[in-house]
Amino acid sequence: MRMSRGILLVISGFAGTGKGTIVSELLDKYDNYALSVSATTRKPRPGEVDGVHYFFRTVDEFQEMIAKDALLEYAEYVGNFYGTPRGYVEQQLALGRDVILEIEMQGALKIKEKFPETLLLFVVPPSAETLKERLQGRGTESKEVIEKRLSRAVEETSYIRQYDYLVINDDLQTCVEELHGIIQSEHFRISRNETFIEKLETQLRKLDKSV
Ligand code: ADP
Ligand code: 5GP
């Protein structure tokens, strides 16, 4: 693991694009990632476990988290609240791990405003028709909720340009490798290596004086 601070990563995309699937592949394949588990007032889907997929909370409990400043950001999405607990993210970044927030766009943009060094990644399906098929194929939402999520996707397209990178989720493994490659390259950005540069500079100055 690197000695430097990890990168805060946001992965967004329309509902049904495959974000959840991609994130679980990244976590399985590589050990430099930590996934932030969000809090939500949405009801669990079959198979979802409290503390693993989400921290499922009542509206009152969620509001208490907001009041205590325990969330880095929060947003309302199709009738429910979703938010990122602060503690885990800060701890994992300090340990040098790249922390993934799988969050929607309002939250993503709030995070970027607060922490400009955040890397915003947007994942899209190869076509609109594929998106509808995936959303229906997942079989976890009613027809009505699917319609709402598809309308939300139309609104969301205007925000894509505020993201840093766009990756197409056609073949899953290709998409996972492309995302991982982008993140790896980010570690080499000059602005992310300021501490190392300063250390080297100090060493060089000392060496220069001693010759
Ligand atoms: P999201 O988290 O973006 O809402 P999911 O990860 O739940 O999306 O994926 C939606 C559905 O699409 C799931 O049934 C998943 O198995 C499927 N899926 C995800 N990625 C691919 C892909 N590259 N090719 C085919 N199906 C996919
Ligand atoms: P779902 O109900 O399908 O699990 O998630 C709905 C949307 O909420 C998705 O776009 C997901 O990325 C987003 N989301 C999940 N957790 C958070 C969070 O902590 N904050 C924000 N702003 N959005 C979130």
Mean pLDDT, consecutive 10-residue stretches, the chain (211 aa), reads 80 96 97 97 95 97 97 95 97 96 95 97 96 91 90 92 98 98 96 94 92 72
Query: How close is the Cα of 18 to the center of ligand 2, in Å?
Result: 13
Phi-psi region of 100 (alpha: psi -120 to 50; beta: other; left: phi over 0): beta
Contacts of 206 (CB under 8 A, 6+ apart): none
Residue 53: which of 71, 70, 36 has the closest Cα?
Answer: 36
Query: How close is the Cα of 76 to the center of ligand 1, in Å?
Result: 23
Closest ligand 2 atom, residue 102 Cα = 12
| pTM for this prediction | 0.92
Residue 9: which of 21, 23, 20 has the closest Cα?
Answer: 23
For residue 99, the model assigns a pLDDT of 98
CATH of domain 8-36+100-210: 3.40.50.300
**Chain Cα centroid distance, residue 113:** 15
Closest ligand 1 atom, residue 171 Cα = 23
The residue written with tokens 């939300």 in the block is 152
Q: Whose CA is nearest to atom 11 of ligand 1?
A: 134
The total number of residues shown for the chain amounts to 211
| Percent of residues in the chain assigned helix, strand, coil, to nearest 5 | 50, 20, 30
- The ligand that comes nearest to the alpha carbon of residue 134 is 1
For residue 1, the model assigns a pLDDT of 44
Cα distance between residue 96 and residue 90, in whole Å: 10
Query: How close is the Cα of 102 to the center of ligand 2, in Å?
Result: 7
CB atoms within 10 A of CB 32: 16
User: Which of 10, 38, 52, 82 to probe ligand 2 with, by most ligand atoms within 8 A of CB?
Assistant: 82
For residue 25, the model assigns a pLDDT of 98
Structural domain boundaries of the chain? 8-36+100-210
Q: Whose CA is nearest to atom 20 of ligand 1?
A: 18
Q: Whose CA is nearest to atom 27 of ligand 1?
A: 18
Cα distance between residue 135 and residue 119, in whole Å: 26
